[in-house]
Each structure stands twice: as structure tokens, then as C-alpha cells.
């Protein structure tokens, strides 16, 4: 059973058809939109500031989402895929974004629509990732511009697949 904890009067709020893996943890001021999925060993800690997660978002195994007290919240748009063991901290992620496995996204980062971040990449504090690129490396830099069909195919297929996977566990 997922661990869902109230902190400072805030309890996580779930939309409809949200899948929570048995050992996922949600704490405090967390909102999760419809058809999203939170997978095994994931921790989403809204104890110091709000975390807002949109619709059709998959937060894969081992991800940590947090923010910084009196400094940043974490806002995640719709149709976002966050790969295994990524760290998302006090940033803003728009729609149709894929964050690769093991990537780290730091405070005050802004990720625009239609962005892919390669596995293991580190996005340093305050960086803005412009729409339509794949970013890789440490620090993450633009690797190449992607066509609209590449972005749509990659981001939508992962997001749609995870909606299907969640059905297997219900």
C-alpha cells in the first residue's frame, strides 16, 4: 500500500484514475492529475513547498521529486515522462517532456514544451531548456533539434504506454 502522509495540514490530492505503486511515497502538498502513474520506490515530498503534477504523467521507478523551503515549488505539466531514478528538484516542466533515466533537474530550471533530456544528464540551477531540442550531458546542452513528429512520437508513445501499464496493476 502506498505511503500517503499529511504534513503541516496538507494531504496529497489525486485526480481520477491515478495509479500509485504499492511502495510509492507521497507527502504533504502534492497534487496529481488524471491518468498519471507513480511507480515503485518513488518519493514525492511536498513537505516544504507544493508539487503539482499534471495529467498523463508517468513518474517511473526510484524517482525523487522535491523542492527547496521558502525558495521553489515543483510544477510538472501534462504528458511528461520521468525516467527511472531521476531527481526533479524545485523546477518547472512544461508539457510533452521526456526526462531520461538518472537525469537530475535542479532548482529554478524551466523546461519548455517538447523537450527531451538524455539519460544521466544534469540540468544546473536556473537553466532554461528551449522547446524542440534534445539536451544531453553534464551540464546539459542542446544536442540536436528535433522535428515535431519525432517529439510527438517519442513523448506521446511513452506517456500512452505508461497509461496502459498502469491498467495491468489495477
How far apart CA 12 and CA 78 sit, in angstroms, is 18
What pLDDT score does 149 carry? 86
In DSSP terms, 88 is beta-bridged to: 65, 105
What pLDDT score does 91 carry? 98
What pLDDT score does 155 carry? 61
What pLDDT score does 23 carry? 97
| CATH code linked to domain 3-168 | 2.160.10.10
State pTM to two decimals.
0.96
What pLDDT score does 158 carry? 86
What pLDDT score does 89 carry? 98
Q: Which residues of the chain fall short of a pLDDT of 70?
A: 155-156
What pLDDT score does 148 carry? 78
How far apart CA 147 and CA 10 sit, in angstroms, is 41
Amino acid at each position: 500500500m502506498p505511503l500517503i502522509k499529511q504534513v503541516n495540514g496538507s494531504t496529497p490530492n489525486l485526480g481520477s484514475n491515478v495509479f500509485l505503486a504499492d511502495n510509492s511515497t507521497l507527502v504533504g502538498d502534492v497534487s496529481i492529475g488524471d491518468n498519471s502513474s507513480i511507480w515503485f520506490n518513488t518519493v514525492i515530498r511536498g513537505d516544504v513547498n507544493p508539487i503539482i503534477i499534471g495529467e498523463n504523467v508517468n513518474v517511473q521507478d526510484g524517482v525523487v521529486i522535491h523542492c527547496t523551503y521558502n525558495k521553489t515549488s515543483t510544477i510538472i505539466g501534462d504528458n511528461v515522462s520521468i525516467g527511472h531514478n531521476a531527481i526533479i528538484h524545485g523546477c518547472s516542466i512544461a508539457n510533452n517532456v521526456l526526462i531520461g533515466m538518472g537525469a537530475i533537474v535542479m532548482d529554478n530550471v524551466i523546461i519548455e514544451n517538447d523537450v527531451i533530456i538524455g539519460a544521466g544528464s544534469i540540468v544546473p540551477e536556473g537553466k532554461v531548456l528551449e522547446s524542440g531540442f534534445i539536451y544531453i550531458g553534464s551540464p546539459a546542452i542542446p544536442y540536436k533539434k528535433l522535428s515535431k513528429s519525432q517529439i510527438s512520437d517519442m513523448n506521446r508513445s511513452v506517456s500512452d504506454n505508461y497509461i496502459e501499464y498502469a491498467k495491468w496493476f489495477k
